[in-house]
């Protein structure tokens, strides 16, 4: 039962990490298109909005730093959880005590990530 749950969590966290990387890639492409094509009425001014976002994060100081780390770091954290659950789902025998503790710890972190995503 716990190995199938680890496999399900592996797929969920891996999909979320890929979604985040895709969004960051689209954001980068939008900035590059904004630089090349300039202000076109179909595209929002992505570069100006990005500069405004960074300025507001810098003005807020430590809270802005925490927000910036959460905005980008949640995708890297999801990728880390994907790797952990992938390794734990491939173990043939029953979990050792150390693997069980690691599984429970990362399960709690995955639940916290899911709670964060639903309430933010």
> Tokens standing for 111?
């639940």
pTM above 0.85, yes or no: no
Maximal CA-CA distance, the chain:
59
Residue with the larger pLDDT of the pair 45 and 10: 10
- Span 25-68, pLDDT tens digits: 999 988 888 888 876 766 678 888 888 988 998 999 899 888 88
The number of C-alpha atoms within 13 Å of 12 and in the hemisphere containing its C-beta is 13
pLDDT of residue 2: 65
Stretch 76-104: mean pLDDT, rounded?
A: 83
């Amino acid at each position: 039962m716990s190995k199938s749950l680890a496999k399900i969590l592996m797929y969920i966290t891996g999909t979320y990490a890929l979604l985040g990387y895709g969004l960051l890639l689209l954001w980068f492409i939008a900035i590059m298109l904004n630089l090349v094509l300039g202000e076109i009425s179909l595209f929002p001014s992505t570069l100006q909005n990005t500069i405004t976002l960074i300025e507001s994060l810098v003005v807020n100081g430590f809270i802005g730093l925490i927000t910036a780390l959460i905005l980008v770091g949640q995708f890297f954290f999801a990728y880390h959880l994907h790797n952990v659950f992938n390794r734990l789902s491939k173990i043939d025998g029953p979990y050792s005590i150390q693997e069980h503790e690691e599984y429970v710890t990362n399960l709690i972190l995955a639940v916290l990530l899911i709670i964060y995503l639903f309430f933010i």
